[in-house]
A = this chain, B = another copy of it.
Amino acid sequence: MVTAEPSRPRGRRPAGEDARGAIVTAARSEFAARGYDGTTLRGIARAAGVDPRLVHHYFDGKEDVFVAALELPVSPAELVSRVLDGPPGELGERLARFFLGTWDPPQGREVLVGLLRAAVSSPDAAHLLREFVTQNVFARIASVVDLPDAQLRADLMAAQLVGAAVLRYVVRVEPLASAPVETLVALLGPTLQRYLTAPDSGGTTGR
């Protein structure tokens, strides 16, 4: 049970921070134990020993708690919104720039490498990430792809970015590891754009 401590001097660390911290800690355990779909805000409140209304006070919803639990530098939903907002012909470029802009700084890089490690080494973490990313990122990107295989195209766009992250941040293959962000944006942007807009396989072999 998280309560304010009246004897503590004001301004040192507000009681609200303790409650929020307890919610985030409980959320981490709940997500790990139950997966993204199986976790509820009510269950998180119970595990944190707080009133469910307090969870709603600090967080906009389950995704918001999850983002806090993972210490993501930016909400995926917010990132997707910002990427989708702009000229459709430059969507691939914006996606590449936002992705690298978010994960390239040291703090983002650390979080992303942690997520990749967890996803690759733990089936539970992979399951959690899969549910979360499918609902909050892939499905929303696929919604703007007006082509057959929209969801699969969104998956392959994600694959290009995930693979670039693995080789750039984890395996550190050169010259990819040291390439400037804008050089990568110029190469990745059209790749992503092709998945969004190329009406067929784009090949010349007619397969």
Query: Which residues in A have some Cβ–Cβ distance to B below 8 Å?
Result: 89-90, 92-93, 116-117, 119-121, 126, 129-130, 133-134, 138, 149, 151-153, 155-156, 158-168, 170-176, 179, 182-191, 193-195, 198, 201-205, 207
Q: A138-B173, A186-B203, A191-B194 are in contact. Are A160 and B160 (CB under 8 A)?
A: yes
Copies of this chain present: 2
- Chain A interface helix/strand/loop/mixed: helix
Contact check, B187 vs A173: say whether CB atoms are below 8 A apart: no
Contact check, B120 vs A116: say whether CB atoms are below 8 A apart: yes
C-alpha gap A195/B192 in the complex (Å): 12
Contact check, B117 vs A152: say whether CB atoms are below 8 A apart: no
Contact check, B171 vs A163: say whether CB atoms are below 8 A apart: no
- Kindly list chain B residues whose C-beta atoms are within 8 Å of the C-beta of A159: 160, 163-164, 166-168, 176
Contact check, B175 vs A166: say whether CB atoms are below 8 A apart: no
Contact check, B166 vs A162: say whether CB atoms are below 8 A apart: yes
Contact check, B191 vs A191: say whether CB atoms are below 8 A apart: yes
Apart from the given pairs A151-B175, A152-B176, A162-B163, 16 other A-B contacts in the complex at a CB distance below 8 Å:
A89-B205, A117-B120, A119-B170, A120-B121, A130-B172, A151-B174, A152-B179, A156-B191, A159-B166, A159-B167, A159-B168, A163-B165, A166-B166, A182-B207, A189-B201, A193-B203
